[in-house]
């Protein structure tokens, strides 16, 4: 099939929290390439990924050490189906875990090496969360600067609570020690936050409580083969398009303890001419965030057989229209 590309088209990859029981089942039934990816993953992981993803239980699928490879395999397999259907993105980005899928889509990282890294990342992050328990909470209704100021006020120089995800205007996730996150919530409500919602996660991701995981991931990432990307990847930490393999490596190392600058990343995509994107993988979180960040970016679903068929058809119509 002839590959179609457009300067204004991107792949966006979701992160942890997008998982649902049943994800990937229809793709697995429909496409041989997807079956092959799951078989390769199960062989490497020694884990019945298909059983957990397709049938649950959700409690097991939601364990960080399982969620991360599960979302990664689904996302990369879906991206390969899109490519086989002729969709060739000009740029890619991924939210936290999704950055690994983006690097695979950009040709900077092999599927197998990415899976090995993601599996270790999930295991180490879960372990760090168990050893140093913390919390994450979504803050709705405050500006980024207000959240940063409150974190500095409550968390002090030790960074007991920090911004973890700048997801969209008026939506920031904070992360850190449980008492500090609770105190931040009280202060945020007094400052006018509409809601502060504690997230059901296994650790204080993108905070200093992930430093043990970052220390152990660093040598693994140093040893990994990360090539120059064929297309730019807008990274979480810099929120700028990057193709250099060594810079991509450094961004992955920094990412575990630094905030995900998703609002800035989406705006960076749009500034390069991106006007259309596919959310490649489970869920619809990124589509919802994109609507709040920049209405000029249209994000189409690409996590199921029907999604991919519809998105492919829309892309072809736009490409020829």
Q: What amino acid positions are annotated as catalytic residues? A: 96, 206
Question: Which residue in 297, 219, 287 sits closest to 253, CA to CA?
Answer: 219
Helices (H), the chain: 25-30, 32-45, 49-55, 58-61, 64-84, 98-105, 111-131, 144-155, 178-190, 211-223, 245-255, 262-271, 285-293, 305-320
Pairing relationship of beta strands 135-140 and 171-176 according to DSSP bridges: antiparallel
- The count of residues in the chain is 321
Pairing relationship of beta strands 87-88 and 4-5 according to DSSP bridges: parallel
d(Cα 46, Cα 166) in Å, to the nearest integer? Answer: 35
Q: Return the C-alpha torsion angle 256, 258, 261, 80, nearest 10.
A: -20
d(Cα 137, Cα 141) in Å, to the nearest integer? Answer: 13
Question: Which residue in 15, 13, 74 sits closest to 279, CA to CA?
Answer: 13
For the beta carbon of residue 156, count every other beta carbon within 10 angstroms. 11
> In the β-sheet with 195-198, what is the strand arrangement from edge to edge?
161-168, 171-176, 135-140, 195-198
d(Cα 36, Cα 131) in Å, to the nearest integer? Answer: 36
């Amino acid at each position: 099939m002839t590959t179609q590309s457009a300067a204004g088209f991107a792949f966006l990859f979701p992160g942890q929290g997008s998982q649902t029981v049943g994800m990937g089942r229809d793709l697995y039934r429909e496409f041989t390439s997807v079956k092959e990816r799951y078989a390769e993953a199960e062989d490497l992981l020694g884990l019945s990924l298909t059983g957990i993803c397709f049938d649950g239980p959700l409690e097991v699928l939601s364990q960080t050490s399982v969620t991360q490879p599960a979302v990664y395999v689904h996302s990369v397999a879906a991206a390969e189906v899109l490519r086989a259907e002729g969709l060739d993105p000009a740029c890619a980005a991924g939210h936290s875990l999704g950055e690994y899928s983006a690097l695979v889509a950009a040709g900077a990282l092999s599927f197998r090496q990415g899976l090995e890294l993601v599996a270790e990342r999930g295991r180490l992050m879960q372990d760090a969360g168990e050893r140093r328990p913390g919390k994450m909470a979504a803050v709705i209704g405050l500006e980024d600067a207000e959240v940063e100021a409150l974190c500095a006020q409550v968390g002090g120089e030790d960074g007991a609570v920090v911004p973890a995800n700048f997801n969209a205007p008026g939506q920031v996730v904070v992360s850190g020690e449980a008492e500090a996150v609770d105190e931040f919530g009280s202060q945020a409500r007094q400052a006018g936050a509409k809601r502060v919602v504690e997230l059901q996660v296994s650790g204080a991701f993108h905070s200093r409580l992930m430093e043990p995981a970052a220390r152990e991931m660093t040598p693994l990432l140093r040893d990994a083969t990360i090539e120059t990307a064929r297309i730019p990847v807008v990274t979480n930490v810099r929120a700028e398009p990057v193709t250099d393999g060594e810079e991509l490596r450094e961004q992955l190392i920094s990412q575990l303890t630094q905030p995900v600058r998703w609002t800035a990343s989406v705006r960076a995509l749009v500034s390069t001419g991106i006007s259309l994107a596919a959310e490649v993988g489970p869920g619809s979180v990124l589509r919802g965030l994109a609507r709040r960040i920049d209405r000029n970016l249209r994000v189409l679903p690409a996590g199921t057989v029907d999604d991919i068929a519809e998105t492919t058809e829309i892309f072809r119509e736009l490409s020829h229209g």
